[in-house]
Amino acid sequence: NAGVTQTPKFRILKIGQSMTLQCTQDMNHNYMYWYRQDPGMGLKLIYYSVGAGITDKGEVPNGYNVSRSTTEDFPLRLELAAPSQTSVYFCASSYLDRGLGYTFGSGTRLTVV
Amino acid sequence: TQLLEQSPQFLSIQEGENLTVYCNSSSVFSSLQWYRQEPGEGPVLLVTVVTGGEVKKLKRLTFQFGDARKDSSLHITAAQPGDTGLYLCAGLRAGNNRKLIWGLGTSLAVNP
């Protein structure tokens, strides 16, 4: 059982470049989330989705975009990378409601130089 | 303003010692989750508590949800090096604004 799979594990981007962080889950979870984690700042919600075709902004959505065309996949797009987007990104999913606990992926460490 | 305060921020102990970490808030939560995160990995859910006063045990880990559902504690008995990691709590706010609030974590190091 793979759970939540994120790719790539590491990436270095130059300022202004674009990239997509991939996230897929095989648990048939309705809810999916993207977080970033910075030292001393905790986990910040970027975007979330309650089902295929439905997405909504979290606390820190600026500079990011998402789509949810299938239940399984929830990619995160960075259009014009900035140094402030250097962070560790986590994708997570939950079955019905965010109060029951999340399954997280292993993260993508992104550095923008 | 951090709505969910975790303490202590850092803890370094010897193998075999007992410890308690805390997760406190002035807000009421519908449920509260505890996670452990190891370096280079995502958080892993340990437990979810939903009832005020609830106590859950997971081997040497004991989780308690406060009677007023504003706070929680995690007690580890006879800590082992494998318990090393960042312990995060997250609370689902009660009421219409069902937002999940994360604490900043307690970083635990258990030395052999």
Q: In whole angstroms, what is the distance from residue A67 CA to residue A47 CA? A: 10
Q: Provide the residue-wise pLDDT of chain B in tens; the chain has 112 residues.
A: 558 999 999 999 999 999 999 999 999 999 999 999 999 999 999 999 999 999 999 999 999 999 999 999 999 999 999 999 999 999 988 776 667 899 999 999 999 9
Task: Spell out the residues 6+ positions from residue A6 whose beta carbon is closer than 8 angstroms to its own.
Answer: A21, A22, A23, A89, A90, A91, A105, A106, A107, A108
Helix (H) or strand (E) holding B25: none
Residue A46: pLDDT band (50, 70, 90) is: very high
Considering only CB atoms, A90 lies closest to which of B42, B45, B100, namely B42
State residue A13's pLDDT score: 97
Is the CB of A103 less than 8 angstroms away from the CB of B105?
A: no
State residue A111's pLDDT score: 97
Neighbours of B80 (CB within 10 A): 12
- Token pair for A77: 């797009």
Neighbours of B2 (CB within 10 A): 11
User: What are the boundaries of each domain within chain B?
Assistant: 1-42+51-84+106-112
Strand partners, B6: B23
Helix (H) or strand (E) holding A86: none
Q: For residue A73, what is the DSSP state?
A: B
A4-96, what's its fold? Immunoglobulin-like (2.60.40)
The answer to whether residue B25 neighbours chain A at the CB level (below 8 Å) is no
- To the nearest whole percent, how much of chain A has pLDDT over 70? 96
Q: Which residue of B has its CA nearest to A36?
A: B42
CATH number belonging to domain B1-42+51-84+106-112: 2.60.40.10
Considering only CB atoms, B45 lies closest to which of A42, A90, A101, namely A101
Sequence letter at residue A101: G
User: What are the boundaries of each domain within chain A?
Assistant: 4-96
Considering only CB atoms, B42 lies closest to which of A97, A100, A104, namely A104
Task: Spell out the residues 6+ positions from residue A26 whose beta carbon is closer than 8 angstroms to its own.
Answer: A1, A2, A3, A5, A72
Residues of A (16-45) whose Cβ lies below 8 Å from B: 40-43, 45
Is the CB of A92 less than 8 angstroms away from the CB of B42?
A: yes
Q: A58-104 pLDDT, tens per residue?
A: 999 999 999 999 999 999 999 899 999 999 999 999 987 667 789 99
